[in-house]
Amino acid sequence: MTRNKRIHVDARLCRDCQVCVLACSLHHEGECNLCLARLVVTKDMARYEFDILICQHCDSPDCILACPTDAMLLDDRGVVIIVDEECIRCGACLISCPYDAIFYNEVQDRYLKCDLCAGREEGPLCVALCPVGVLTLVDVEAVRVGV
Amino acid sequence: MPSGWMGKILDVDLTAGKISTRDTMAYAGDYIGGRAMAGRIAWDEIPAGVDAYDPENRIIIATGPLTGTLAPTSGRTVMTSLSPRVYPRPWYTHSTLGGWFGPELKYAGFDAIVIHGRADSPVYLEIRDGEARLVDATDLWGLDARETQLTLKGRMSPQTQVLTIGPAGENLVRFATVQHAEENAAGHSGFGAVWGSKNLKAITVRGTGGVSVANPEALLREVIGAGTFKKSPAVAVVFEGDQNLRKEESPDDGGVDPAASADSAESNGRRPICSQACTFDCIIGSYERTVDERLIPAFCIGAVWRHESFMQDTEYSGGGVEVPPGRNFGLCEEVSLHELCNKLGLDLWFRLVMQPWFIRCKQLGIGEIRGHPIEPEDLFWFERFMHQLANREGLGEIFAEDLVRAMDELEGELPAELIHLGRELEFDFGFPAHREGRFWDEEPLPFWVISAMMHISTSRDPTIGTHSSCLINAEFFLDDRELARRQFRLLSEKVWGDPDALEPTFENKAPVAIWSQHQHMLIDSLPLCDFAFPQLVRPMESRKAWQNAEDILGDLDLDLRLFAAVTGVELTREEMTRIAERAFTLERALLARAGRGRKMEETLAPHFKLPCRADGTLIDEAGFSGLLDEYYSARGWDLELGWPQADQLRELGLEEIIPELDERRRQSKAYSESPP
């Protein structure tokens, strides 16, 4: 279901409910922890604006080029994933990401990023649970040609 | 320790400047968390006889096991204390607020905060990942609630969540709020003034931890099963097509991109939410622009300010009481005024009682009070009056005591009709009239009778816990009485074992009132949102769906399943109800400690002699007394005082409070036999 897909974000619709973030950490880590999710909702209180940072699974991912080991790779779905066992915690991927969508959890000393809910046949949970359609799963090809 | 709870409560002694912790689990088994747990702490630790502004009064800020999890609408926080707003004397009560503070508190490692004492000078409490300290807040004193939050977020991080008071709290305005984010507030009970009395300006919290979940798969299953963006039944039925409440604007550019809106903004109805983890499509939120073109959210009573027809709904005439319609100043002007109210830290409800009261003054030829001109239909006068309230200046000095106390102050100076009107507008022990079927919203028989039973027995107006569970169902009645009656008979049989439970009569309404109160206790303790839980009526997406339904019963056990998924603790409905009854009974004991009982509750009777605005029904003093008898009996309380009795307290595991209640009974009896 997630082959050659990515998650499109229309942050204008966001309500800051954090359901996507909570679902992400619950699915991946078994707890509700905003700092262990693979996406982040940000809010500017002064202007009442939101943004959602999540991996766009680039065609030529800078993070893979930046990684000095084999910790960043494209899996057979075309999804960029982190292999934690190979990661040397250098942070090069985080710095290289043009979407600020790779996150460092200081408590666990781990880097985290979206894997489109690998292993979940129904697709990413954040997309399924977003109440207002901020997150949609789209074909990479469709996005590329502006469909 | 079971999942869901963090295990620690933060104790803050402002007088000594000391901070310590205690174990949450000492309370969790009998009280779960939130409001129920706070009541236990209050009974044990707030000394009898102290005033709201006494350093020994506590501010208790409590979350529940669901707070910070994915459980829908669980991002809520409860605040309790002795309330300075309550009339004629303070007693213990509660407010709840949505937002993001409670979850962040748990991510920082704490379930609750208990604050007592008084700092020598302004301070704020800073909490970060298991650590807490008091910080000098002299430079923040005087800032409004929005400035304070932006300043503290700027100093710490955008992720930091802040509770704060505005000038109204600093100046001990009796209806001062504790504010959070743009619109969330512990608003109704005047706790902002308690903060002010303690020199506590703000609490900041930042946590990078998480809330453990016993059964993640079960929680995900329940959340997915409950569905997202469901409308509450009343939204679908009553407000369907109400364009004024359904502004479709994007927060950044004032309009939704048509290309993006086909299956998102337009069809979903873009509205803000008031709490983390809210997955519902709730009628109470809307976005509007200020006079300087900023888009800000409003919820519930905040949205009422902006809504011209709602302000006009303050109009009432009957039983010798005339309440004129409120004056709407125009959309963006109202949005800015409403934002100002939040900045100053005033309870938004003051507008609903004070503006009509001042307009009635003008109608009766009163143009000034103690030399202060009154122009309640003038935008600039009203804006100035709000500043005066928050700063206790001029006319604001009198009305910062709240309308009902202002009537005591002005009695003899103004026509008796105005004094009477002021007292009726805040008839409920100082709380603005709401959910009583007269002055504000429409509750036909039997809903106002159920509401009256809740007014006489709870520590504050029963508005909050009854939005979805009980009283809003009145809207169905008003819309199609025969259809609603037919549906309610089936529903009543299933829920209360009595098909007549919601029949439009005066008799046998106590079971619904008590059920609603227990549900309210649970949603304030788990916690969940009262607009979404309990699902007495299942969510329906359209008016047509409602009209075609016979069985409208919702999923009443969703709370139990969410609780079990998060904590791993399986409770039956009976066990959960027993926890709610224990906590409610303890709150009643706290009222008894403050001298509240039947005699005081009978003083509410005259308000219910006014005709119901929906159907003209009313009840005389004898009938009202009969409602008290029925309710107290159903509760197992004595009929003389309306207080819990020893056998009941033993059965609920509250035997330790029996000696104090016995002593207060003796004192009360001695007083009534030979009053001083």
Chain A CB contacts of B103 below 8 Å = 18
B213 close contact with A: CB closer than 8 A: yes
Same domain, B414 and B452: no
Q: What is the pLDDT of residue B128?
A: 98
Judge: B220–A27 Cβ closer than 8 Å, yes or no.
Answer: yes
| Closest CB to B264 among A45, A107, A132 | A132
Chain A CB contacts of B276 below 8 Å = 16-18
Q: Please say whether the beta carbons of B65 and B563 come within 8 A.
A: yes
Q: What does the mean pLDDT of chain A come to?
A: 91
Domain that holds residue A28: 5-58+98-136
- Which of B66, B155, B213 to mutate to probe the A interface, most A CBs <10 Å? B213
Residue B91, in any domain of the structure = yes
Between the two ends of chain A, the Cα-to-Cα distance in Å is 19
The three-state secondary structure class of B398 is: helix
- pLDDT class for B240, splitting at 50, 70, 90? low
Q: What is the pLDDT of residue B65?
A: 98
Domain that holds residue B178: 8-206
Same domain, B567 and B596: yes
Q: Please say whether the beta carbons of A102 and A95 come within 8 A.
A: no
B277 close contact with A: CB closer than 8 A: yes
Judge: B251–A107 Cβ closer than 8 Å, yes or no.
Answer: no
Q: Give the tokens for residue B218.
A: 């079960």
- Residue A67 CA, chain-centre distance (Å), reads 17
State the DSSP string of B127-153: EETTEEEEEE-TTTTT--HHHHHHHHH
| Closest CB to B150 among A46, A49, A50 | A46
Chain A CB contacts of B149 below 8 Å = 45
Judge: A16–B273 Cβ closer than 8 Å, yes or no.
Answer: yes
Residue B442, in any domain of the structure = no
Q: What is the pLDDT of residue B257?
A: 36
Q: What would the mean pLDDT of B481-506 be, rounded to a whole number?
A: 95
Phi and psi torsions of B97, nearest 5°: -140, 150
Q: What is the DSSP letter of B611?
A: P
Q: Decide which of B240 and B315 is more confident.
A: B315
Residue A79, in any domain of the structure = no
Same domain, B174 and B296: no
Between the two ends of chain B, the Cα-to-Cα distance in Å is 53
Residue A50, in any domain of the structure = yes
Same domain, B484 and B509: yes
Judge: B107–A16 Cβ closer than 8 Å, yes or no.
Answer: no
Give pLDDT tens digits for B535-584.
Answer: 898 888 788 888 899 999 999 999 999 999 999 999 999 999 999 999 99
Q: What is the pLDDT of residue B675?
A: 53
CATH number, residue B612: 1.10.599
Find, in chain B, the residue whose alpha carbon is nearest to that of A104: B208
Q: What is the pLDDT of residue B479?
A: 85
Residue B439, in any domain of the structure = no
Residue B211, in any domain of the structure = no
| Closest CB to A131 among B220, B229, B294 | B229
Residue B3, in any domain of the structure = no
Q: What would the mean pLDDT of B10-30 be, rounded to a whole number?
A: 98
Q: What is the pLDDT of residue B563?
A: 98
Residue A9, in any domain of the structure = yes
Residue A25, in any domain of the structure = yes
Query: Does the CA dihedral B460-B464-B465-B468 come out positive or negative?
Result: positive
Judge: A125–B272 Cβ closer than 8 Å, yes or no.
Answer: no
Same domain, B138 and B242: no
A33–chain B nearest CA distance, Å = 4
- pLDDT class for B45, splitting at 50, 70, 90? very high
Give pLDDT tens digits for B403-443.
Answer: 999 999 999 999 999 999 999 999 999 999 988 999 987 88
How many domains, in total, are found in chain A?
Answer: 1
Residue A72, in any domain of the structure = no
- pLDDT class for B488, splitting at 50, 70, 90? very high
% of chain B exceeding 90 in pLDDT: 79
Residue A71, in any domain of the structure = no
Q: What is the pLDDT of residue A2?
A: 67
Residue A63, in any domain of the structure = no
Residue B364, in any domain of the structure = yes
Of B370, B391, B425, the position where a domain reaches its end is B425
Q: Please say whether the beta carbons of A60 and A140 come within 8 A.
A: no
| Closest CB to A49 among B216, B251, B281 | B251
| Closest CB to A22 among B149, B264, B277 | B277
Residue B77, in any domain of the structure = yes
Chain B CB contacts of A47 below 8 Å = 294
Same domain, B86 and B146: yes
Judge: B264–A106 Cβ closer than 8 Å, yes or no.
Answer: no
Q: What does the mean pLDDT of chain B come to?
A: 91
Q: Please say whether the beta carbons of B583 and B36 come within 8 A.
A: yes
A50–chain B nearest CA distance, Å = 9
How many domains, in total, are found in chain B?
Answer: 3
Q: What is the pLDDT of residue B267?
A: 34
Residue B440, in any domain of the structure = no
Q: What is the pLDDT of residue B245?
A: 34
C-alpha to C-alpha distance for B649 and B655, rounded to whole angstroms: 6
Q: Decide which of B547 and B354 is more confident.
A: B354
Same domain, B361 and B495: no
C-alpha to C-alpha distance for B346 and A23, rounded to whole angstroms: 36
Q: Across the strands, what pairs with B202?
A: B124, B164
Same domain, B68 and B97: yes
C-alpha to C-alpha distance for B74 and B64, rounded to whole angstroms: 8
The three-state secondary structure class of B632 is: helix
Same domain, B529 and B615: yes
Find, in chain B, the residue whose alpha carbon is nearest to that of A147: B259
Distance set, CA B101 to CA B8, B349, B464 (Å) = 16, 23, 19
C-alpha to C-alpha distance for B8 and B79, rounded to whole angstroms: 17
Of B366, B392, B425, the position where a domain reaches its end is B425
Q: What is the pLDDT of residue B442?
A: 83
Same domain, B500 and B379: no
ipTM entry: 0.95
Residue A131, in any domain of the structure = yes
Strands B112-116 and B8-13: parallel
Chain B CB contacts of A35 below 8 Å = 107, 208-210
What does the H/E/C string look like for B203-235?
Answer: EEEECCCCEECCCHHHHHHHHHHHCCCCECHHH
CATH number, residue B351: 1.10.569
Q: What is the pLDDT of residue B236?
A: 63
Question: Whose CA is closest to B153, among B178, B187, B180?
Answer: B180
Same domain, B452 and B363: no
| Closest CB to A12 among B181, B213, B252 | B252
- Which of A14, A16, A17 to mutate to probe the B interface, most B CBs <10 Å? A17
